[in-house]
């Protein structure tokens, strides 16, 4: 039985440096990919993602892009506010039934 190598993982810095070799260094994708030992399609993908969002293109495993992080934060805050509103509605109903 032969075991596969599995997927290699590259950190954000490696990806950015690889892309910069192409975009700022003026080197060809094929040349950079070969020298780094990666497939040129992978480098093209990294280049496209970097071009779309230079600051948040490679967030890493378990991390969100800044705009996605903000969305998650707002969704959580919204859920908390809805829960608070429901509690206040129930309290209002209870106190309005039993005036002092």
State the pLDDT at residue 52: 82
State the pLDDT at residue 64: 65
Q: Domain spans of the chain?
A: 9-62, 64-100
State the pLDDT at residue 41: 94
State the pLDDT at residue 1: 41
Residue ranges of the chain whose pLDDT lies below 70 = 1-6, 55-56, 58-64, 98-100
Instruction: Kindly report the pTM of this predicted structure.
Output: 0.53
Instruction: Count Cα neighbours of 95 within 13 Å in the Cβ-side half-sphere.
Output: 6
Report pLDDT digits (tens) over 67-86: 777 888 999 999 999 999 99
* CATH code, 9-62: 1.10.10
Q: Which residues contact 60 (CB under 8 A, 6 or more apart)?
A: 11, 12
DSSP string, 16-68: HHHHHHHHTT---HHHHHHHHT--HHHHHHHHHHHHH-TTTS---TT---HHH
From the CA atom positions of the chain, what is the Rg in Å?
25
Which among 64, 56, 51, 45 has a CA at the least distance from the CA of 12?
Answer: 56
Which among 68, 15, 24, 9 has a CA at the least distance from the CA of 43?
Answer: 15
């Amino acid at each position: 039985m032969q075991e596969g190598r599995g997927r290699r993982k590259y950190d954000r810095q490696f990806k950015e440096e690889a892309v910069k070799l192409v975009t700022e260094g003026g080197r060809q994708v094929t040349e950079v990919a070969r020298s780094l030992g990666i497939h040129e399609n992978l480098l093209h993908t990294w280049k496209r993602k970097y071009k779309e969002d230079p600051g948040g293109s490679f967030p890493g495993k378990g991390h969100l892009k800044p705009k996605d992080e903000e969305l998650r934060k707002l969704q959580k805050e919204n859920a908390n506010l809805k829960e608070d509103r429901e509690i206040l509605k129930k309290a209002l109903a209870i106190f309005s039934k039993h005036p002092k």
